[in-house]
Amino acid sequence: MRDGGFLDPKPANGASLAVVILLHGAALTALALSKMEYVRLTPPILEGYNVPINDPPPDQPVEKAPEAPRIKSVVTAVPPKVKTDVTTDPLTAEPLVEPQPFDPFPGEAIKIEKPADPPKPLPPVRVEAKIDPRSDLQPPYPASEERAGHEGSVTVRLLVGADGRVKAVEKVRAASDAFWRATERHALRSWRFTPARVDGKPVESWTTITCHFRLTD
């Protein structure tokens, strides 16, 4: 026969089991019959108001600032500004010098030469025709005018060629047709000229001559 160990079943004790059951029942009954009280906490209500930064609290009286003493203003005449040609520096009271244009070469004058104009062509040198004094200038007196005792003059316009000879005769005015015909024939036959020249070269030209017819004793 083996001695009983720790794991061996113990014989049940009826009295102890009844006491345990009774204690648990009493605890459950007390717990069921107990009333739980709940406490509800209500937060306090706060009242607020806006307080200006510079204003005193509402519970303190507002003090009025003392009035500043009134000062009687005195207006004096301001002398008019006089415009001067010299401007002074307000810091040093020295005359200000107007800025001068920048000179890249101080002390040296810059001379800009204008290109020379092209030479103008010289006008041609012209020499007018002149009658040769060796020519017989006086036309013959018309016989009809001489018998009638008439006197007069004739003005003619001549075309002188480059060789000095008369190439054409035009009447400008004449005292009679006889004087005009006598002058025309004589100019074409006998008159000689030094021709006109342009830059030394002989050229044709027009000239005007007046002839007078006078009776002599």
pLDDT confidence band for 18 (50 / 70 / 90): confident
Give the count of domains, the chain: 1
Q: What's this model's pTM, rounded to 2 decimal places?
A: 0.45
Q: Confirm whether 185 is domain-assigned.
A: yes
Q: Confirm whether 178 is domain-assigned.
A: yes
Question: What mean pLDDT comes out for the span 158-185?
Answer: 95
Residue 195 near residue 202, CB atoms below 8 Å: yes
Residue 103 φ/ψ, nearest 5 degrees: -115, 110
Question: What mean pLDDT comes out for the span 7-26?
Answer: 65
Q: Cβ atoms within 10 A of the Cβ of 156, count?
A: 22
Percent of residues, the chain, with pLDDT higher than 90: 39
- Three-state secondary structure call for residue 32: helix
- Position 122 scores a pLDDT of 85
- The residue ranking higher by pLDDT, 142 or 55, is 142
pLDDT confidence band for 68 (50 / 70 / 90): low
Q: Confirm whether 16 is domain-assigned.
A: no
Give the C-alpha separation, 208 to 172, whole Å: 9
Q: Confirm whether 33 is domain-assigned.
A: no
Q: What is the CATH number of the domain that holds 198?
A: 3.30.2420.10
Range of the domain at 164: 126-213
User: Of 214, 213, 195, which Cα lies nearest the Cα of 205?
Assistant: 195
Residue 183 near residue 137, CB atoms below 8 Å: no
DSSP string, 59-89: TSPPPPPPPPPP------PPPPPPP-S--B-
Q: Count H helices, E strands: the chain?
A: 3, 8
User: Of 202, 189, 212, which Cα lies nearest the Cα of 135?
Assistant: 189
Q: Confirm whether 190 is domain-assigned.
A: yes
Q: Confirm whether 108 is domain-assigned.
A: no
Residue 213 near residue 164, CB atoms below 8 Å: no
Does residue 196 carry a pLDDT above 50?
A: yes
Q: Confirm whether 166 is domain-assigned.
A: yes
Q: Which two tokens stand for residue 105?
A: 């070469």
- Position 38 scores a pLDDT of 45
pLDDT confidence band for 133 (50 / 70 / 90): confident
Give the C-alpha separation, 65 to 116, whole Å: 91
Does residue 64 carry a pLDDT above 90?
A: no
- Position 98 scores a pLDDT of 64
Average pLDDT, the chain: 75
Give the C-alpha separation, 94 to 58, whole Å: 63
- Position 2 scores a pLDDT of 47
Does residue 130 carry a pLDDT above 50?
A: yes
Q: Confirm whether 136 is domain-assigned.
A: yes
- Position 21 scores a pLDDT of 78
Q: Find residue 36's DSSP bridge partners.
A: none
